[in-house]
Amino acid sequence: MTDRILQSLKTLESEKNIQILLACETGSRGWGFPSPDSDYDVRLIYLHKKDWYLSLNEGKDTIEFFLEKNEIDISGWDLRKSLRLLWKSNPPLLERIQSPIIYSSDPIFLTEVNTLAQSSYSRIATIHHFLSMAKKALNEVLESKEYKLKRFFYALRASTACLWILEKEELPPIEFIKMYKHLNLREDLVQRISELIEFKASISEGYIHHGEKSLIEFMKQCITRAEEEASSLPSSKGSMKSFNQFFVDTLNRYDN
């Protein structure tokens, strides 16, 4: 599948006349708890030629298409759009620049954009994203005695991310194992999460699960604490000037 993805990325660069700065996995594969039949969620940050940015009319700044009967989902954001989202500490953008599964990248860009992300990180903006996600996913789990394990993990990861943001100043890591194993969780919870990740790797996306009282209670506690403490978290202290400079420097580096 990797060869198919790489071939598609090369074709995309040629057809769209763009430079892909980063192509990576997000979703369950990037998070570290895929099922055998999980889709491939390939996410891009790409750059147009400099002249494209000089038009009075802004062009389309997104790309979306599917391959292999929708098994491969490829979508991307132009550099300017990506930096605007990064300025707001957009969690999906923060995730893709940390992805452990990279199909192609500009190492200089990836290093510098991660530095920029940390310097402008808004904990309050990020926790509101994960809190909303955690509440919605957990409500779906609680509405029925049986639920998709995939949905349970969405709720669990988002709830744990809320706890991370409350307790740590670094960006919440995309890899779930780095998140829950670096928080001061009870050993029985850590053990059960690890067991569920191993189990999920052996069953299909459609598998229906039940139970997990301890983890559900843990998620409720994370959500309650986030609701009580989120407003006290700091916002970004980053400089828009540094974002503009990074944008110009990246354009110049690829200008022929």
256 has a pLDDT exceeding 70: no
Chain segment 98-157, per-residue pLDDT in tens: 999 999 999 999 999 999 999 999 999 999 999 999 999 999 999 988 999 999 999 999
Q: How far apart are CA 53 and CA 249, in angstroms?
A: 14
d(CA 102, CA 22) in angstroms, rounded, equals 8
Angle between helices 79-87 and 107-119 (to 10 degrees): 30
Distance between CA atoms of residues 31 and 45, nearest Å? 19
Predicted local distance difference test score (pLDDT) of residue 69: 78
Q: What is the pLDDT of residues 45-77, one digit of tens each?
A: 999 999 999 888 888 999 999 887 788 999 999
CB-based contact 20:78 (threshold 8 Å): no
Between CA 19 and CA 45 the distance in angstroms is: 9
How many CB atoms neighbour CB 159 within 10 A? 27
Q: Where are the beta strands (DSSP E) in the chain?
A: 19-25, 40-47, 62-67, 72-78, 102-105, 146-148, 208-210
Count, residues in the chain: 256
At a CB cut-off of 8 Å and minimum separation 6, what does 38 contact? Answer: 27, 28, 29, 205
**Arithmetic mean of pLDDT over the chain:** 94
The stretch 191-202 carries a mean pLDDT of 97
